[in-house]
């Protein structure tokens, strides 16, 4: 397939109707009264998602790497070798885990997932690695204390950032035309700057309106807590997608060694696909993860196909990634897994 080279800013403008770079450094308290955007609509040449806006987008399929394993550390080593971590060489890296609660995996990110990813990043000669999170509904400090997260950070020589404790100066306002968050959203600057960003979602259903909680849903931890109740008074699934229009990760590594196929996000019916997924495309990896959940016995696809699911459909409409199953390439060495997921994805 012949590549079409187009700037990232042009792509997002065409697909999502983005206004010219709307990131602004915010001032005052981080609360639900986000101010409007500046009249010039642009600061420091940033697009709405915090990028420089000139990355190349092509029409080549989005790759989703898949490893089947019964050993998480070996699997993470394998999948990071497959997808590559060159983006992290010589850069500071922010890891965004899923610490919705202190409940055991798959409710929250497994410690060995963090150990494996940090080891791989260090092998790729990344600089300082920071774990950053805002837990809810329980307070972040309560969750990390119960999980022993600070001890793990000390073991791995990681910093920890609690978004709940960040001063207002460390947030910035982002928006785009048609965003369903009134006035845009304040997003932590460390998720939008020069450092590399890696998302570490789990794979599970969500019984409180999200339908599933995968990489797109992980963005909820970037929203000021004072505004999160808005998700339960509006279209939660569209609001989830729109958070992701305000930042762009370098990589998503999803731990689907176990998953919830009912319930979620903090408890549910557990199945064990023994899979790890990785991609640079949030839509593509979430689409494949929905297929994983369906293969494990979830009824998510009873009424809607994968690309008809509200989170994914909205993410497509604002130009976040793959827009159909045929724009996704599955890469892995277990052909039975690839074939099964391909069949569900295409159905």
What percent of the chain is predicted at pLDDT more than 70? 83
**pLDDT of the residue at 47:** 54
Q: What is the rounded distance in angstroms from the CA atom of residue 277 to the CA atom of residue 331?
A: 10
**Average of per-residue pLDDT values in the chain:** 86
Domain-wise residue ranges, the chain: 60-167+191-346
Q: Residue 172's beta-bridge partner residues?
A: 25, 187
- The model's pLDDT over 24-38, given as tens digits with 9 standing for 90+, comes to 333 333 443 343 333
Q: How confident is the model at residue 138 (pLDDT cuts 50, 70, 90)?
A: confident
Q: State the greatest distance between any 2 C-alpha atoms of the chain, in Å, as a whole number.
A: 54
Q: What is the rounded distance in angstroms from the CA atom of residue 151 to the CA atom of residue 283?
A: 33
Question: What does DSSP say about strands 251-263 and 275-279: parallel, antiparallel, or unpaired?
Answer: antiparallel
Question: What does DSSP say about strands 185-188 and 129-133: parallel, antiparallel, or unpaired?
Answer: unpaired
- The model's pLDDT over 183-209, given as tens digits with 9 standing for 90+, comes to 999 999 999 999 999 999 999 998 776
**pLDDT of the residue at 207:** 74
- The model's pLDDT over 62-105, given as tens digits with 9 standing for 90+, comes to 999 999 999 999 999 999 999 999 999 999 999 999 998 999 99
pLDDT of residue 53 exceeding 50, the answer is no
pLDDT of residue 56 exceeding 50, the answer is no
- The model's pLDDT over 218-265, given as tens digits with 9 standing for 90+, comes to 999 999 999 998 987 878 999 999 999 999 999 999 999 999 999 888
Cα dihedral 44, 170, 250, 114 in deg (nearest 10) = 160
**pLDDT of the residue at 51:** 55
Q: What is the rounded distance in angstroms from the CA atom of residue 196 to the CA atom of residue 87?
A: 7
């Amino acid at each position: 397939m012949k590549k079409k080279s187009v700037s990232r800013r042009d792509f997002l403008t065409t697909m999502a109707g983005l206004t010219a770079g709307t990131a602004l450094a915010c001032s005052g308290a981080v609360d639900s009264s986000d101010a409007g955007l500046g009249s010039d609509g642009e600061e420091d040449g940033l697009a709405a998602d915090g990028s420089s806006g000139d990355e190349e987008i092509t029409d080549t399929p989005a790759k989703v790497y898949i490893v089947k394993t019964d050993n998480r550390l070996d699997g993470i080593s394998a999948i990071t070798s497959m997808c590559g971590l060159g983006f992290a060489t010589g850069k500071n890296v922010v890891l965004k885990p899923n610490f919705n609660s202190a409940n055991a995996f798959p409710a929250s990110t497994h410690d060995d997932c963090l150990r494996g990813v940090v080891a791989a990043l260090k092998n790729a000669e990344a600089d300082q690695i920071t774990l950053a999170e805002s837990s809810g509904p329980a307070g972040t400090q309560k969750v990390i204390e119960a999980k022993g997260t600070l001890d793990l950070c000390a073991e791995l020589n990681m910093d920890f950032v609690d978004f709940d404790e960040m001063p207002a100066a460390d947030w910035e306002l982002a928006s785009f035309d048609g965003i369903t968050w009134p006035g845009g959203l304040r997003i932590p600057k460390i998720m939008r700057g020069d450092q590399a960003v890696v998302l570490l979602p789990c794979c599970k259903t969500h019984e409180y309106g999200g339908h599933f909680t995968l990489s797109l849903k992980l963005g909820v931890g970037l929203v000021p807590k004072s505004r999160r109740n808005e998700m339960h008074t509006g279209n939660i699934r569209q609001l989830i997608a729109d958070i992701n229009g305000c930042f762009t990760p370098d990589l998503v590594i999803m731990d689907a060694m176990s998953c919830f196929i009912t319930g979620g996000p903090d408890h549910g019916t557990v199945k064990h696909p023994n899979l790890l997924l990785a991609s640079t495309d949030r839509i593509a990896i979430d689409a494949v993860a929905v297929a994983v959940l369906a293969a494990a016995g979830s009824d998510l696809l009873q009424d809607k196909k994968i690309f008809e699911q509200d989170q994914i459909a909205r993410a497509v409409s604002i130009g976040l990634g793959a827009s159909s199953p045929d724009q996704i390439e599955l890469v892995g060495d277990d052909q039975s897994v690839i074939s099964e997921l391909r069949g569900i994805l295409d159905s």
